[in-house]
Structure 1
């Protein structure tokens, strides 16, 4: 599928509908456990046959991101979100970086937490997850913002353990990485990702793909920056997750 095709509003037989999205005061359905030495949010059936590794955005464990994980888990997936920042995520007040101090702080955060750092941890995380959840035969990876870059690097690298990938409002979109991605890949962009980079990335993908821009949504609308009290954002948050579930149902 290409960016010229609209997202499917229906769902395949293999895929559930997105549960009703909670605007405020969301109650997490999962628990925290330790996997490969990292605190990890875990949700969904522990005897699932399919697993999803979630790479959060720079703001870490936000309710909107955890709700997204629970939505993915509702389709009989075991979903894991490791705490790569080990309790020190980026304060959301630093974004957008509208002044020099915020720019400096944000730059320092990225320097301390480059996507490559998470990429190096993923083989051990997946090894531990496979040992803990032997019923899971296939794994997908999904990443938001900073996490989207992690997805690009992992799925284009040697020994990629994932059957399918998804990048949601990804940061630092690089068409060169797309050339090395051989697994099915979904990319959902906001109005704030560079359109030219997204188009070049899509053109460079050689495997099954669905690339779509949610033209009235901000960077972060499916994770920490989702204002779910805004009806339009809530609607597109839900449609975004339905698109992910449909793609994973087809390829995972």
Structure 2
């Protein structure tokens, strides 16, 4: 269902919420550069089906409301443009608003994809709101690799991701040996998205199993 969140600076933003009334933990699900689209709602629903209360905030509401993009070249260009217009500190306020809207008393985690993978990292290193964080192919993580996570973190990367070279992954591993990192052989960027040409079902399944096991351990 659609809800409205209010960030600490007074900004209101939409969010997608799902999950059982007896949820065992709460998760903030962080979008790619394509908005809270059909794929992100499917991701949120999959975690809800696994027993989590989930909230997926519409981070693009900072610059344009109701954005739901596909995966064409034009969509990628537009998504990157929208992302570039939003300050990452304001994005942090938005994910903290989502965390605060999860049911009281539940342990909270965060998981993000693409841009959201980087945002999840920021949530782990720049706040104490989460007990565990997972990032899938977050291209901006390397820029913040020297910031220490305040909770356990798990990261997933594709071996042949054109936007995240393995040198970046190695740099993250060297800077943060405490972080669990998985690299999927032959996989590219967005290998976990069923609507992209880079989708690799077997790798997406393994990464999801690892993500769920990680949250089961730490939440």
Could you tell me the TM-score, scaled by structure 2's length? Answer: 0.82
| Native 8 Å contact 1:139 1:161 kept in 2 | yes
Greater RCO (Cα-Cα under 8 Å, separation 6 or more): 1
Q: Which runs of 5+ in 1 are unaligned?
A: 1-30
| Native 8 Å contact 1:57 1:147 kept in 2 | yes
Deviations 1:10-52 (A, max 9, x none): xxxxxxxxxxxxxxxxxxxxx2222333221112113313000
Runs (4+) of structure 1 exceeding 4 A deviation are none
CA distance in 1, matches of 2:146, 2:21: 32
Q: Which runs of 5+ in 2 are unaligned?
A: 7-11
Match of 2:95 in 1: 122
Deviations 1:174-231 (A, max 9, x none): 2643541131111000121211111221232254x32111122221122375459x7x
| 1:185 is the counterpart of 2:153 | yes
| Native 8 Å contact 1:175 1:197 kept in 2 | no
Q: 1:194 aligned to 156, 165, 183, which one?
A: 165
| Native 8 Å contact 1:165 1:186 kept in 2 | yes
Match of 1:13 in 2: none
Match of 1:146 in 2: 115
Q: 1:93 aligned to 66, 69, 72, which one?
A: 72
- How many residues are paired up? 207
1:92 partner SS: coil
CA distance in 1, matches of 2:189, 2:75: 10
Could you tell me the TM-score, scaled by structure 1's length? Answer: 0.72
| Larger Rg computed on CA atoms | 1
